[in-house]
Amino acid sequence: NAGVTQTPKFRVLKTGQSMTLLCAQDMNHEYMYWYRQDPGMGLRLIHYSVGEGTTAKGEVPDGYNVSRLKKQNFLLGLESAAPSQTSVYFCATTGFSYNEQFFGPGTRLTVL
Amino acid sequence: EDQVTQSPEALRLQEGESSSLNCSYTVSGLRGLFWYRQDPGKGPEFLFTLYSAGEEKEKERLKATLTKKESFLHITAPKPEDSATYLCAVQAYGNNNAGNMLTFGGGTRLMVKP
Contact: A100, B49; criterion CB under 8 Å: yes
59-88 in B: which are within 8 Å (CB) of A? 87
Contact: A106, B41; criterion CB under 8 Å: yes
Name the band, by pLDDT with cuts 50, 70 and 90, for residue B96.
low
Which residue in chain B has the smallest CA separation from A6?
B43
Closest residue to B106, CB basis, from A42, A49, A106: A42
Collect all residues with Cβ–Cβ distance below 8 Å to A62 and sequence separation of at least 6: none
**How far apart are the C-alpha atoms of B47 and B23, rounded to whole Å?**
14
Percent share of chain B, pLDDT over 90: 87
A interface test, pick of B100, B108, B109 with most A CB neighbours within 10 Å: B100
Contact: A94, B100; criterion CB under 8 Å: yes
For residues B11-40, average pLDDT: 96
- B46 contacts in chain A (CB < 8 Å): 100-102
Closest residue to B43, CB basis, from A49, A94, A103: A103
CB pairs under 8 A between A and B: 58
pLDDT digits (tens, 9 = 90+) for A17-37: 999 999 999 999 999 999 999
**How far apart are the C-alpha atoms of B68 and B45, rounded to whole Å?**
24
Name the band, by pLDDT with cuts 50, 70 and 90, for residue B51.
very high
Contact: B46, A102; criterion CB under 8 Å: yes
For residues B36-56, average pLDDT: 96
Collect all residues with Cβ–Cβ distance below 8 Å to A92 and sequence separation of at least 6: A4, A32, A33, A35, A101, A102, A103, A104, B43
pLDDT value of residue B11? 98
Task: Note whether B69 and B53 are within 8 A (CB).
Answer: no
Percent share of chain B, pLDDT over 70: 96
- Give the DSSP H or E segment for B5: strand B3-7
pLDDT value of residue A97? 73
Contact: B43, A105; criterion CB under 8 Å: yes
**Bigger pLDDT: B98 or A14?**
A14
